[in-house]
Structure 1
Amino acid sequence: MNASVKNLPYPLRMTSSGFTLIELMVTIAVLAIIVSIAAPSISNQLANQRVSSTVSSIESALKEAKAESIILRTGISVVYDNTDNTMTLRDTGNNVISTYTLNDRSQVTVNVIPAGSDIIFQPNKIISNGVEATYSVCDIASTEETRKQVSVTKIANISTIVNGSC
């Protein structure tokens, strides 16, 4: 059987000719509406992910400093540099142990009590001079801002909480 389109009746040939321009435009309009609804949700999700990533890096740096102070049996200081958004761990000889680079789109605010003190983990599992610190992290580009905080107590307990907006 050699059936070709030319042998079909005229109404059957016209029904299988493809999409009309109107059908294509309606489909594109529906897709545009769906994307416009989903886009803000996706951008907020990405902002929350950036904040979570930064908080995780800060937490890792603090936990490493605590562990290294015990292993090396010396004080380990944690210094946050807001110009290049890094955290550096140094021993008492000012030797760099490690450096953590934080997300550039995250804004980190450090609140140290007493003000101007350094965070130095001691081998006896406490922070020198009874210093407490809070690292507040926000996303710069987020419209729906969520702040997370990493806290370090006098006895070197490290905890993370979600705390309001920036």
Structure 2
Amino acid sequence: MKIIQSGFTLVEMMVTVVVSGILITVAAPSMNSLYEGIRARSAISTIESSFTFARSQAVSYGGRVSVCPLSTSSCGTDWTKGFSIFIDNGTTGTMDTTGGIADVILREVDAFNSNDFIKSDLARYSFNPDGMVINGNSGTFRYCAGATNSSSSEAISISASGRISNVTTSINCI
């Protein structure tokens, strides 16, 4: 009686591992750009919905609502560390949590990916009770995933009237 053994030989297994390694090496860079694109779209969607929320809360509360980067007791400058949306009761341009009438924080957005950076035309966006941006300051908010000016960068534009829209033209992150 002859016993038949099935399986792979060492040569077949080595060829399979080498071919798999080559395919992974070729596919890895394109997967990275795909991941950056998904990350940028997700982040700009979060930012856009947060600004829409801030504008609607300004209209609902009948007061000024501001959006600025997180810092200890005032607005910071680094948007990648996250930002807060708050009812702005002060006139000093800082988040007042100690003296006077305390600002009410409505929402905080957590930090974004540390490999990415955010460029904004304004350090702070504030909406009037009518939904318009205070002082008519419009701006563009750019989320740049990974490398500067990568094809996966995304942006939104905030007009003086408070309208928030996606930017469809080329995005400059420099």
Length-normalised TM-score, structure 1: 0.80
**Partners of 1:44 and 1:142 within 8 A in 2:** no
Kindly state the Cα deviation for residue 83 of structure 1 after the two structures are TM-superposed.
6.9
Kindly state the Cα deviation for residue 24 of structure 1 after the two structures are TM-superposed.
0.9
Of stretches 97-106 and 28-37 in structure 1, the one that deviates more from structure 2 is 97-106
Kindly state the Cα deviation for residue 141 of structure 1 after the two structures are TM-superposed.
5.8
CA 53–17 in structure 1, closer or farther in 2 if over 3 Å, else same: closer
Does structure 1 residue 60 correspond to structure 2 residue 49? yes
- What corresponds to 2:117 in structure 1? 107
Aligned-partner residue type, residue 27 of structure 2: A
Structure possessing the higher radius of gyration over alpha carbons? 1
- What corresponds to 2:40 in structure 1? 51
Equivalenced residue count is 151
Runs of at least 4 residues off by over 6 Å: none
Q: Which has the higher helix share?
A: 1
* Alpha-carbon distance in structure 1 between the residues aligned to 2:160 and 2:43: 23
Does structure 1 residue 130 correspond to structure 2 residue 136? yes
* Alpha-carbon distance in structure 1 between the residues aligned to 2:38 and 2:9: 42
Let me know the Cα RMSD of the aligned residues. 2.3
Q: 2:88 aligns with which of 89, 92, 105?
A: 92
Kindly state the Cα deviation for residue 161 of structure 1 after the two structures are TM-superposed.
2.0
Q: Which has the higher strand share?
A: 1
**Partners of 1:50 and 1:103 within 8 A in 2:** no
Kindly state the Cα deviation for residue 23 of structure 1 after the two structures are TM-superposed.
0.9
Query: Could you tell me the percent identity over the aligned residues?
Result: 23
Kindly state the Cα deviation for residue 165 of structure 1 after the two structures are TM-superposed.
5.7
* Alpha-carbon distance in structure 2 between the residues aligned to 1:35 and 1:155: 49
